[in-house]
Each structure stands twice: as C-alpha cells, then as structure tokens.
Structure 1
C-alpha cells in the first residue's frame, strides 16, 4: 500500500506522459561522435546539443521510472527504491516542463537545469544498493542468485542506462567550463594516461583502506606513463578504484593476524594493437570456484552486509570499504559502455587477477 499511496502523489497526466515517452526509441551516442561534435565548439552546436538532450533525456529517464515501478519480489516497494523512483519522476517532470530551446539564453538555462538533475541523482547507486539489501534481508534464504536473475538483469539495464544519462549530461555541462584543461573535450580527455589515472585511483583506494583498517598494502603500477589514448578519466578511475579496493581488503584481511608483511597489489598497464589492458593482481587468497559465477551479481558480497552492522542505516551515502556487492558489476558496466570488458581470474589460495 505504501508504494501505491506514494505513487498517487504524482498526477495522472504525468504518469501517462511517462508511459508515452518511455515507449519511444532512444538514440545511441558514441565516444567518437562526442569527440568530433565537441571539438567543433560553437554556440550553434551547444544549442543543437541542448535540443537533442531536451528530447532524449525524457525518453531514457521515463524508461527507468517505469521499470522501477514493477520490480519482482516486492523490490519496488522498498523505501530506498521508492526514493530513487521519485527522483526519476521529478527529473522527467522538470525536463518536460522546460520550454523549447531556441537561443543561447535558453540553452544556458537548460544546462543549469540538467546539471541540477545530475546532482539530484548523485546518490542513486548507494540508494539502490540499500534497497537491494533491504530486499535481501526479507528474501527466503533458500533462494539462490540464479533464482534472482531477473533482478540482476534489471539492475544491469538500469545502471548501464544511468551511465549513459550521466555521460550525456556531464559532457554537455562540462563543455561550458570557462578554462578547460589542455586536451580536454568535456568529460573526454583526448590524451589520457592510464598509468596516471591508475596511480590516482589506487591512492584513493588506499586512503579508504587506511581509514577502515588502520593500514594498507602498497600498490605498484607498471606501464609507460607517456602512453595516452582518448577516454573518460572518471570512468577509468572508478573501475581501477573498485578493483584495487577489493584487492586491498582481501590482502589486508588475509594478512591481518600474520607476522608476514602484506604483499603489494600490482597494476600492469599494457598497450596492445587493438586494446588497452589494465591488470590488477593480488595475493588475497582468491575466491573458490563455486563463488566465481556470483561475483558479478548484485546480491553477493564476501564482506559483511553494512545493514547488519547498522540496523538503523537510514541513508546510503555512508562510505564503506565493502558490503553492498555493487563494485564489480558496476565496474564491468563502465568498461562495457565504450566497448571494453572486465574479467576476473581467481587462483584459490593465492589471489585474484582482474583485467579491464
């Protein structure tokens, strides 16, 4: 009843419009197109981009709002999921209420508005994770991750769509930066150094580990720092951060009570003819073969459930080292968004090898 009552706070006409826009076809946008379009920076192009987003964003946001309303196992009725759904409905309403974009002033107002939408959705991932954990506590313990495949498929679609929406908004907003960095076109760095990004990401992961455990294994990065390629640094940072964070936790917990010095995590950046490969390896003990199929599901984590430790957890923006089980599957989606992938190889009793 709670879901129905909350849903009725939105007008019937808005819900009908969401259904209408959610049935429309969305338009794909490639990294190459963003680069080429962004490199021809003119006032006219900004207006054209805003006009495109004015029509494209409501389609993508409406689809997610519709899906959030009809999830299996009662997931749609969890308080955290209701909160996320309301964010999407509010954003759809804001977009549809904005008038047609005709000139520079319209475009600037629209840019401010979509940036506010982006901020509104900042906590979607941890809030969705909280909703999934709320569901997990209520589920029959006999259910396996295979039984919940429809939830995993939904979450893959949902997060891949979210990456696309934030990329489109972020790219447009970033094009308005008064003093862009050299070789930067919006979100995209045309000469990104993966070695440099990997170093920053591993330093950030070590900071989290130090805060959580009081110590952290060293991280060594191997590769040519002068090698560059066009990519989105934020995306790569997130992927490496999550992989290294997992490795740090595994090594730290394995060697916590040992007299031996915790071995370092190794990151290797390799430039191939067709692909750029980043390998993260550790000696954290690995995962049993029976657990490997589950590591890319959203209801699995080898860490303690943060809701078990914080029964009164009302918000989801508390940074934890692990426990929600979303890091690896979302990192894989970021890798796949521009045609890459993320693979995990485990040597039980030794450690993990992650490549992206």
Structure 2
C-alpha cells in the first residue's frame, strides 16, 4: 500500500535511487574532528567538507525515507508521517540533483541548498509527534505502551539520525559565517562555560514558568563559572532548559496551594576528567517508581496534549505548539548521547527528582549512527 502511494507521487527511478543510497554505509564524525577540521575553514577545507556531505547526506536521508515506509501498526499510512516522508524524499532529490562539487562556486551553491533543506525539516519532530498521536487515537485505549516498543526504538533511531544530519548541515553552514563569535568553530564553542549556559537556560525556563503560573521557584547554580570545555552550546541549552522546566513545573504544582515557600531548584556543575556532569535537583515530590520507565517514551506525557483538541484532518494546523509535549526528556537524552554523554533520572517519590546530565569531555566519541 505505502509503496503504491510512493510510486504515485515520485518517479520509479527516484525510488530505486533511494533504495541504492539507503544501502550504503554511513560515516560517523566526532566532535573533536569537527572542531579540528573546522578551525581553519579555508576554501579547500570547505570544499572537502562539502564533498563529504554530498555523499553522506543522501545516504542518511535515504535510510530515513526507507524506514518511514515500513513502520508497524500502520503508522506509515498516517497523514502526518506521509508528509514527513515527502520532505525527506524532496531533500534526497534536491541533494542528488547537484552534480559533483568541483570548485568554490559549486560549494557555495551546495551550502545554500543544504541550508534550505535544514529549514524544510524544522518541524519534523512535532509532525512525527502528530503522526504518533493520530496512531494513538486509532489504537485500543487499553493497549499496553510497552508493546509499542518497536515504534519507540524507531523514533529513537530516527531522532538520533536527525540530530546528526542537522549538526552536519548546521556546522557546515556556520563555517561560512563572515563574523564568527570568538572561540567558536561553527556550532562548537571551544571554551564553553557550562555554568553560564545553565544560567541562561534556567532563566529562559523560569520566564516560561512565570508566564504560566505567575510565579517561579528560585534556581541556585553551583560550580566554577570560569571552567570551560568544548561543546555545542545550543545542545546543552536545550537539555538544561528541558530539565529545569520539568523541575519548575513539579515544584510549582506541589507548592501552589501551600503556605510554605517553594524550595529552590539546585543545579550543580562538576568537572571530572572524563565527564562534565550537571545535576538538576528539585523537591517537587518526585515520580513513582512505576512511572519512571515511561518518562523516556514518546507515547506518554503528563502535560495536556494540544493535539487532543485538533480535528483529525487538521494535520498542519499549528504544529509548532506540539514542541515540548512529552518529547523533551527522550530527545534531551539523545542529544546527550550524540556526543558520548547520557542522561539519567533518579527520583524519590514523596520528595523530589535528581537529573544527571553527563557530557563527555574528551569529544572523541563517534556519532552513534543507527
């Protein structure tokens, strides 16, 4: 069925080419390699990078397209998923339409195009979420979400691959910036202060909390503000923002009708030899042990789901509102793992939750390619 739909909107030669490229081997890149390679963005280096991406991106995108075709429980047929698949096919076709990259002009054309591809895929996460939502609506309400393991593993692979594709494109595009920020190599900040990023992310999360509840608990940050290491600040900001937002919500809701002052959230930044670890601690009442396995699934959220209010045919209705509905934790964990780190949540029901965000200091772990 899905294949038939595909043939209707795309030529057979394109489908054959997707199959061929999807069978090729992907090449992982490490943070350290991206940093060293990008530290001198000469025309020659940018040309080599573009030639690498010209081979690598179609392979990664073809794999995603093929996977989107054969999802369990009829997920591939959902309108939102078909839309995502078409984005990937369009991007594959665009990439393959560019002949070999031989000189700087070719390289600049290619860079312009991959920048456009990155924008085209901006809403993939909410759109996929919408597809899963459309699936959940149709499934038996009593279905055990653990049995949807296959979908969960697919989404982990899919989003991890997406992080990689966006990092490679974003890094290459950023190397063309005529006025790079000091100590930055593309997306990578060679002297990033985790304390400073944690402070910014906390302030952002706190202002959202204020907007929603009219007040917000304090946040205390402990750690050496002068300590720095190479990392991608946007990734770290996203992860800390997510963890702090969850903590703020838990504390706020626990103390909303209490005459006690809400206890502050504590963020501790520790620099070890191998890992930089950021701990976010709250006294928001914790999570029951039975609920802990659910917090990393894409099929569960305690927040109210904005899609429940949408009519089914309204696939493209403001999808962006979907961001942050139960996807924050699993996606943050993928960001942590992408450069060799991890995210662990430890909870004391009746007291609070500690989140441990481990970031690899060495920067030489390869991308985890699914």
TM-score normalised by L of structure 2? 0.92
Distance 1:141 1:51 in 2: 49
Within 5 A, what are the aligned runs for 1:181-330? 181-311=181-311, 314-318=317-321, 322=324, 324-330=325-331
Choose 18-27 or 71-80, whichever is displaced more: 71-80
Within 5 A, what are the aligned runs for 1:29-44? 29-44=29-44
Q: Are 1:219 and 1:264, in contact at CA under 8 Å, matched by a contact in 2? A: yes
- 1:336 maps to 337
Q: Are 2:132 and 2:299, in contact at CA under 8 Å, matched by a contact in 1? A: yes
Distance 1:75 1:101 in 2: 37
For each residue in 1:91-142, what CA deviation from the matched residue of structure 2 results, as whole angstroms up to 9, or x when unmatched?
0000000111111111011000000000111111111112112212221122
1:215 CA drift (Å): 2.5
Q: Are 2:306 and 2:321, in contact at CA under 8 Å, matched by a contact in 1? A: no
Q: Are 2:280 and 2:356, in contact at CA under 8 Å, matched by a contact in 1? A: yes
Q: Are 1:335 and 1:341, in contact at CA under 8 Å, matched by a contact in 2? A: yes
- 1:61 maps to 61
Q: Are 1:127 and 1:315, in contact at CA under 8 Å, matched by a contact in 2? A: no
For each residue in 1:322-351, what CA deviation from the matched residue of structure 2 results, as whole angstroms up to 9, or x when unmatched?
5x3111011001000110000000100111
- 2:180 maps to 180
1:211 CA drift (Å): 2.4
- 2:171 maps to 171
For each residue in 1:19-44, what CA deviation from the matched residue of structure 2 results, as whole angstroms up to 9, or x when unmatched?
11001101011111111111232110
- 2:161 maps to 161
- 2:98 maps to 98
Choose 224-233 or 3-12, whichever is displaced more: 3-12
Distance 1:76 1:89 in 2: 14
Q: Are 1:87 and 1:120, in contact at CA under 8 Å, matched by a contact in 2? A: yes
Distance 2:7 2:348 in 1: 48
Q: Are 1:3 and 1:82, in contact at CA under 8 Å, matched by a contact in 2? A: no
1:274 CA drift (Å): 1.7
Unaligned runs of 5+ in 1: none
Unaligned runs of 5+ in 2: 358-370
Q: Are 1:3 and 1:77, in contact at CA under 8 Å, matched by a contact in 2? A: no
- 1:118 maps to 118
For each residue in 1:274-302, what CA deviation from the matched residue of structure 2 results, as whole angstroms up to 9, or x when unmatched?
21000001111111111111111110112
1:7 CA drift (Å): 5.5
1:260 CA drift (Å): 2.1
TM-score normalised by L of structure 1? 0.96
Within 5 A, what are the aligned runs for 1:77-156? 77-156=77-156
Choose 57-66 or 249-258, whichever is displaced more: 249-258
Secondary structure of the equivalent of 1:122? coil
Indicate the RMSD between aligned Cα atoms, in angstroms.
1.6
Distance 2:75 2:338 in 1: 26
Greater relative contact order: 1 or 2 (C-alpha under 8 angstroms, separation 6 or more)?
2
Number of residues of Structure 1 aligned to a counterpart in Structure 2: 354
Q: Are 2:307 and 2:322, in contact at CA under 8 Å, matched by a contact in 1? A: no
Q: Are 2:126 and 2:322, in contact at CA under 8 Å, matched by a contact in 1? A: no
